[in-house]
Amino acid sequence: MSDKSIMELSNIHKSFGNVDALKGVSISIKKGECHCLLGDNGAGKSTLIKIMSGVHRPTSGEIKIEGRPIEISGPRDAINSGIATVYQDLALIPLMSVARNFWLGRELTKKIGPITVMDFEKCNSILMSEMDKIGIKLRDPSQSIGTLSGGERQTVAISRAVYFGAEILILDEPTSALGVYQTSNVLKTIERVREKGVAVVFISHNVSHALAVGDKFTVLSRGETLGTAKAGEINYEELQFMMSGNKELSELKDR
Amino acid sequence: MSDDVKNNSNLKTNFRSVMLRPDLGAIVGVVLVFLFFFLVARDTGMFSLEGSMNWGIVSSQFIIIAVGACLLMIAGEFDLSVGSMIGFAGIVIAVTSVVWGWPVWLSIITAFVVSMAIGALIGYITVKTNLPSFIVSLAFLYILRGMTIFIAIISTKKTIIGGVTEAAENDWLAPIFGGEIFTGVFDWLGEQGMIQTFVAGTKAGQPVVSGIPMMMVWAIGLVVFAHFLLTKTRFGNWIYASGGDAQAARHIGVPVNRVKILMFVFTAFCATVFATTQVIEFGSASADRGILKEFEAIISVVIGGALLTGGYGSVIGAALGAVIFGVVQQGLFFIGVESSLFRVFLGVLLLLAVILNTHVRKLITGAK
């Protein structure tokens, strides 16, 4: 793990009209590190990832990638800068085949005479080997995404982002809608991706999922960062306590 | 896994993938419809060369507009202005060529340019306002129909403008819409006695079917083009994605708005092809032509297995849906059934198709 930050956000403010969604958020993400972003609903998590993925622009503040200040002008621009975002339920299109989804927007083509067509043979064979690597058994590349489980869909979306060269992978609540078994598969995938040197930003409000894979934990509350801790420096109760806005919600958990 | 189990699961997979073909319902429907009329109407001449040409042409008309509606519906939008666009394009051709004296080729090209520009406008308004295309194109259903009648009335004081046949004589572009191909082949077949010839009248000795009308050629050409575009090209992948989940497609960098607008333009193109073939064939344009065509196109597409919600469907299915239309409409005529029953049949068929499609959708998306 290197010490250099691959992405650094400092003092990010974002207001929508007279609502301040982010009030000076700073976060630094390193290569090969899984940085968990924790916070309750409305803490500003989604605003922050939308700024990182180019959907919103910050009102003020600075974004640096590999030390250079940049402006992310849109989702496409973010992707070109190596920032890929996997949204909870917007990752893939259920009616389309796994192959069509995987290559969407970056279709491999070949020429038949003057006509450019999709190179399905090549698309399918690369897809099958990529799916094999992440442990998804496909019957055939043309089966629809809808036939996969929620966990498998997240895994496909993550491996697609990594295959296309993402260096910073933002995962928006990847486990929140999943069962226990599927969650553990997705967490394993995150582990594998991190070992490749990809920086993972893992957004969650589930502390135990975060603790299972996280190297660092930043807690957001009401548009501000409450601080960043390394793995081992903080435990479940402390994180839960910070997230719940210093209310003893953790006590209610076992009800 | 033992071989037996493997074979069994392969069989299941194959069965499943056949069941999930979007056009399965339409294929079954075509077979049933042909079987029915073959049993009932065999003696009426429906399946003679002349009779086949009859329902073949009607089917081709439905196919031309269904192809446009199909790609647009897969891209997640509707165009209810198709029927009005047909009337509008026809009047543009007739007014510019007959009243203003333009050469017919220029009139035809003008009609295409104007219609496709209006198609682009409908698409632009739809994607910019984020309104349902159902409403936006409904507005254009009225706007275009009204404009069409207005233009016809102020320029000729009539709603039917004739004289296009005379204007189109020796025109180079008109035969591409109104002519026939393979006429030599049919003449030869007639001479050889392999197809029937007229026995009396001015056409005595000529074959009863003189060639393949260009309308059929356009229908086949459009089906091949659209099917290829949808299933084989990168743009086709974007069409599916734009209708399947526009937001997800945008996040991955698909130019969803451009795809949708282009599909509106293509629908307008198909409507103008329909209008032009009709104007050249009849030699006249009528301001009320094309009424209800938008719904017939949509029904063909739905019978063809496309989902009303977009993202899923088949051009071949839509074409087969159009053939079911053409065969039943003309078949009822051949067997002498009151033609109003055709609409009853359509309504029932539409309902069955939508129920089947909804079920298939659940199977694909795994929704309970």
Q: What is the pLDDT of residues B52-101, one digit of tens each?
A: 999 999 999 999 999 999 999 999 999 999 999 999 999 999 999 999 99
B340: in domain: yes
Is it the case that residue B2 has pLDDT exceeding 50?
A: no
A87 and B251: CB-CB below 8 Å?
yes
Rounded to 5 degrees, φ, ψ at A129 are -75, -35
Helix (H) or strand (E) holding A221: strand A216-221
Instruction: Summarize pLDDT for B24-59 with one digit per residue, the tens.
Output: 888 988 999 999 999 988 888 888 888 899 999 999
**In degrees to the nearest 10, what's the CA dihedral of B6, B11, B17, B19?**
-150
Return the CA Rg of chain B: 22
According to the model, what pLDDT value does residue B19 have?
A: 63
Closest partner CB to B248 (pick from A93, A139, A146): A93
Q: Which residues does chain B have within 8 Å of residue A107's beta carbon, measured at their own beta carbons? A: 234, 237
**B216-244 residue pLDDT tens:** 999 999 999 999 999 999 999 999 999 99
Look-up of token digits 């005595």: B204
Contact residues, chain A, for B308 at CB < 8 Å? none
CA B86, B168, B215, B68 dihedral sign is negative
At B185 the pLDDT is 87
Tens digits of residue pLDDT in B301-335 = 999 999 999 999 999 999 999 999 999 999 988 88
The nearest CA of chain A is from the CA of B70 a distance in Å of 16
B368 interfacial to chain A (CB closer than 8 Å): no
What pLDDT is stored for residue A1 in this prediction? 43
Tokens of B126: 């739809």
Candidate from A91, A107, A140 with C-beta closest to B237: A107
Asked whether residue B260 is assigned to any structural domain, the reply reads: yes
Residue B50 forms part of a structural domain: yes
**DSSP classification of residue A249:** G
What is the phi/psi pair of residue A12, to 5°? -80, 125
A5-95+166-254 CATH: 3.40.50.300
Residue B201 in any domain: the answer is: yes
* Contact between chains at B249 and A142 (C-beta distance less than 8 A): no
Task: Decide: B145 and B80 in contact? Cβ < 8 Å.
Answer: no
pLDDT band, residue B11 (cuts 50/70/90)? low
List chain B residues with CB under 8 Å of A116: 233-234
* pLDDT tier for residue B357 given thresholds of 50, 70 and 90: confident
List of residues 6+ apart from B289 with CB closer than 8 A: B86, B87, B90, B275, B278
The residues with which A38 forms a beta bridge, in sequence order, are A204, A219
Two structure tokens written together for B84: 């009005």
Residue of A83, A242, A93 lying closest to A170 (CA atoms): A83
Chain B neighbors of A118, CB-CB under 8 A: 232-234, 236-237
Can you tell me the distance from the alpha carbon of B230 to that of B76, in angstroms, rounded to the nearest whole number? 14
B251 touches chain A (CB under 8 A): yes
User: What is the sign of the dihedral through the CA atoms of B1, B4, B6 and B9?
Assistant: negative
Q: Hey, where are the domains in chain A?
A: 5-95+166-254
Which range (A80-84, A220-224, B15-19, B338-342) has the least confidence? B15-19
Which of these ranges, A78-82, B107-111, B290-294, has the smallest mean pLDDT? A78-82
Q: What are phi and psi of A172, to 5 degrees?
A: -90, 105
B116, pLDDT greater than 90: yes
Q: What whole-number distance in Å separates Cα of residue B290 and Cα of residue B148?
A: 12
Query: With an 8 Å Cβ cutoff, are B361 and A95 in contact?
Result: yes
- pLDDT computed for residue A45 by the predictor: 87
- Residues from chain A that touch B311, judged by Cβ atoms under 8 A, are 93, 95-96
Q: Is B237 on the interface with A (CB under 8 A)?
A: yes
- Which amino acid, residue B268? A
CA atoms within 13 A on the CB side of B307: 21
Find the DSSP H helices in chain B. Answer: 3-19, 24-41, 49-74, 82-94, 104-129, 133-156, 164-167, 174-178, 183-191, 214-232, 234-244, 246-251, 256-282, 293-303, 315-334, 341-365
**Residues β-bridged to residue A204:** A38
- Torsion, Cα B219 B224 B228 B231, to 10 degrees, reads 70
Pick B205 or A183 by higher pLDDT.
A183
Residues B171, B220, B144: CA angle, nearest 5 degrees: 65
Sign of the Cα pseudo-torsion (B245, B249, B254, B258, in order): positive
Does B245 lie at the interface with A, CB-CB under 8 angstroms?
yes
Q: Does B248 contact A107 at a Cβ distance shorter than 8 Å?
A: no
**pTM, whole model, 2 decimals?**
0.88
- Answer with the residue of higher pLDDT: B179 or A127: A127
Query: How distant is the Cα of B207 from the closest Cα of chain A, in angstroms?
Result: 40
pLDDT above 70 covers what percent of chain B? 94
Range of the domain at B328: 24-365
pLDDT value at residue A246: 58
- Please tell me which residue of chain A has the smallest CA distance to B11: A139
CB A101 within 8 A of CB A117: no
pLDDT of residue A238: 82
**Bridge partners for A29 per DSSP:** A7
Query: In this structure, is the dihedral angle defined by the CA atoms of residues A240, A244, A246 and A251, taken in order, positive or negative?
Result: negative
In the predicted model, what is the mean pLDDT of chain B? 90
Q: How would you write the pLDDT of chain A (255 residues) with one tens digit per residue?
A: 446 788 999 899 999 888 888 988 899 999 889 999 988 887 888 889 889 988 889 999 999 998 889 888 887 788 888 999 888 776 789 899 999 999 998 899 999 989 999 999 999 999 999 888 888 888 888 888 888 888 888 889 988 988 988 899 999 888 877 888 888 888 888 888 888 889 999 998 888 888 888 899 998 888 888 888 888 888 888 888 777 765 544 444 444
Q: Which residues of B touch A94 (CB under 8 A)?
A: 244-245, 364-366
Reference B308, options B59, B23, B74; nearest CA is B74
More confident residue, B273 or A193: B273
Measured CA to CA, the distance from residue B147 to residue A149 in angstroms comes to 52
Residue B8 covered by a domain: no
Q: Tell me, what's the pLDDT at A135?
A: 80
Q: SS3 of B121, please?
A: helix
Per-residue model confidence (pLDDT) at position B109: 97
Q: Residue B253 and residue A79: Cβ atoms within 8 Å?
A: yes
Q: Which of A121, A105, A178, A53 is nearest to B241 (CA)?
A: A105
CA A200/CA A49 separation, integer angstroms: 12
Number of domains making up chain B: 1
